[in-house]
Amino acid sequence: MLKTFGDIFKIPQLRSKVLFTLAIIIAYRIGAAVPIPGINAEAVKSLFEANSNGLLGFLDMFSGGALNRMSVFSMGIMPYINASIIMSLMQGAHVIPYLDRLAKEGEHGRKKLTQITRYGTLILGAVQSFGLTMAIVKMPTPSGMPIVLDPTMSWMVMTIFTLVTGTVLIMWLGEQVTERGIGNGISLIIFAGIVERLPSAVLGVIKLVQMDELSILVALSLVVLVVVVLALVVWVETAQRRIPIHYAKRMVGRKMYGGSSSFLPIKVDQSGVIAVIFSVSILSAPLTIAQFAPNWTVWGVQVSKLITEWFNHSSFIYNFVYAALVIFFCYFYNSISFNPKDLAENMKKSGGFIPGIRPGDSTSVYIQKVLERVTLGGALFVACIAVLPDYIRTFMSAPFFFGGTSLLIVVGVALDTIGQIESHLIMRHYEGFMKEGRIKGRWFNIK
């Protein structure tokens, strides 16, 4: 393993990509530590200590700890994710024909769609920054101290512009990593924010054990739980269904072509971390409104209180909606990224066929059926992992945030990044991270 990491720096192109990615992540972490001027740090600290296991702690996880410092990156990458969700939904539902045409124009259309997503990020970032600024001015703290020392109009305007600029900068950093670094930039930024909490969480557990506030048995049980869930996530994330494809022999001139066989891999969790991130982003919207507008009343009903009770992280309604959204986005992602009809047509043109299945429409129907069955298993597993660890953590009175959401994101991003690094190593005749070869997906058979 150590030799493999040494091989990374022997390849100039791969070395520059890895170092560039690390430099961007370091720059992001520095920005997450720069506070907005005029913020009372003690008041913010008391507020987040009182809500560490609630909505604010959950949102702070996705901002990489920037929110609990009220830094220039407090908005995190959520506006970009929300803009991406809106664009994906409109393309999937075929609401705007112009977006459908762009999606079919190849690289030029992709650039146009990316540009529209950027403008959407800017608009959503401005709206959310305005809401966050107004909220921290009026939000009460457990200590009774105001969060903003001098909430003048000029301070509010400066803060809104600062937060919007921070969001746009994070978006730009993520795109730079995707284009010039290793891995998906946006996912790596979220990954860095989650991993940043791990050392302090482990030290916190050790201190609680030393102070006899947490039994050694509970601490060991938590370690075993983390290892088992981690192994299950890796096991499913690397699983895939391989559909065999044979190519008929054909004579072109005096040469015989075809006669080979291959397979079509379908991952169990095709969407990766996309479904989880999208679901969390949508669920955070009503909770954010309720948190920042505690006195919201409609027809005599306290809507904010109702939302807070229904969408509490430990409530059945919240976890049911969360699991349903995860399953929905798993299927939705597959519907826009995997087109069985196009695959069947391309196979037919190249002389390929699935044994026992007629080429054309029958092949398309077969691939669609296999895709739906495989996706169902993967979606149910991801939904369970996203929900169950939180219940187990509450049952065992775990003193730190250990949730399936963060675990799924960390494992998914880590596997994707390692896979890209390994591809560069194998392409240049170096060994992969495993002595036996590449980190391969396991395959199974579903009729």
Please report the pLDDT score of residue 447 as a whole number.
Answer: 47
Identify the sign of the CA torsion 83, 24, 70, 397.
Answer: positive
d(CA 16, CA 95): 42
Please report the pLDDT score of residue 51 as a whole number.
Answer: 63
Mean pLDDT by 10 residues, the chain (447 residues): 65 84 89 84 76 64 76 84 79 72 78 88 87 78 76 87 90 89 84 80 78 78 80 83 79 63 82 77 71 64 67 73 88 81 83 83 88 88 78 58 70 81 71 54 48
Distance from chain centroid for Cα 232:
18
Of the candidates 287, 50, 45, 20, the residue with the CA atom closest to the CA atom of residue 174: 20
Domains present along the chain, CATH in parentheses: 1-196 (1.10.3370.10), 208-447 (1.10.3370.10)
d(CA 174, CA 133): 25
Alpha helices in 104-215 (DSSP H): 106-138, 153-180, 185-195, 198-210
Asked whether 326 and 383 are in contact (CB, 8 A), the reply is yes
Name the 3-class secondary structure at 443: strand
CA atoms within 13 A on the CB side of 79: 29
pTM of the model as a whole: 0.76
